[in-house]
Amino acid sequence: MAKISKRKQAANEIDRSRSYPLAEAVSMIKASAAASKFDETIEIAMNLGIDPRHADQMVRGVIAMPNGTGKTMRVAVFARDAKADEAKEAGADLIGAEDLAEAIQGGESNFERVIASPDMMGVVGRLGKVLGPRGLMPNPKLGTVTVDVGAAVKAAKAGEVQYRAEKAGVVHAGVGKASFDEAKIIENAAAFIDAVRKARPSGAKGTYIRKITISSTMGPGIMVEDVA
């Protein structure tokens, strides 16, 4: 008889027809990811009762994960002079003004967050067609257009997560790595769920949180009970 892998054995123990308490779901996900040869990302996805095509039903926000995400965030900053120095000291990976805009238009894309000082938005605005589709356009509501670029860079590097509802009304985020302690993953996931719950838009009607699923990069998804 063929030997059953640890991952498959863990997956076989999951009842796809039920929702699990968050702590139990995280334990099962870690058991499934334990057989992996790399440190898998643990991700949470929430199906919401919204239609993001309507402005009053869009869900978007930012949250500082209590325990970070385990991911190295590459940050690009649009700033000049003292603000550029501030960004460099805070650990920004790419810093510039018109030169940075030209690099991005030319194909530079090795970054996951874009931050800009307010005076640079005239330059950044020209990159809407490049940054917009990637969800990277700096936004004051998300703290990525700010006079305090140093603090914004440090927050991004420390594990701050931006989320935005996709067309189907789904929001998702990485809440840690398989190597994290269960308690840290649970705390991050609970914080994300709470943030999305509090971001309920005025136009949302009926059931807001329809389904919550947690999974690892290569593992199965597990439905999670709402932690409300």
For every residue of 176-192, which 3-state class applies, written as one string? EECCCCHHHHHHHHHHH
Q: Is 72 exposed, middle or buried (0-12, 13-18, 19+ CB in 10 A)?
A: exposed
Domains 15-68+161-224 and 75-158 share a fold: no
Supply the pLDDT for residue 49: 96
Query: pTM of the full predicted structure?
Result: 0.82
Say how far apart CA 169 and CA 188 lie, in whole Å. 21
Supply the pLDDT for residue 174: 94
The CATH code for residues 75-158 is: 3.40.50.790
**216-228 confidence digits (pLDDT tens):** 988 889 999 986 6
Supply the pLDDT for residue 6: 60
Kind and range of the H or E run holding 114: strand 113-116
How confident is the prediction along the chain (228 residues), in pLDDT tens digits per residue?
444 456 566 666 777 778 999 999 999 999 888 777 889 999 999 999 999 999 999 999 999 999 999 988 999 999 999 999 999 999 999 999 999 999 999 999 999 999 999 999 999 999 999 999 998 999 998 999 999 999 999 999 998 999 999 989 999 999 999 999 999 999 999 999 999 999 999 999 999 999 999 999 888 899 999 866
Among the four given CATH numbers 3.30.190.20, 3.30.910.20, 3.40.50.720, 3.40.50.20, the one describing domain 15-68+161-224: 3.30.190.20
Q: Where along the chain do its domains lie? A: 15-68+161-224, 75-158
Say how far apart CA 213 and CA 225 lie, in whole Å. 9
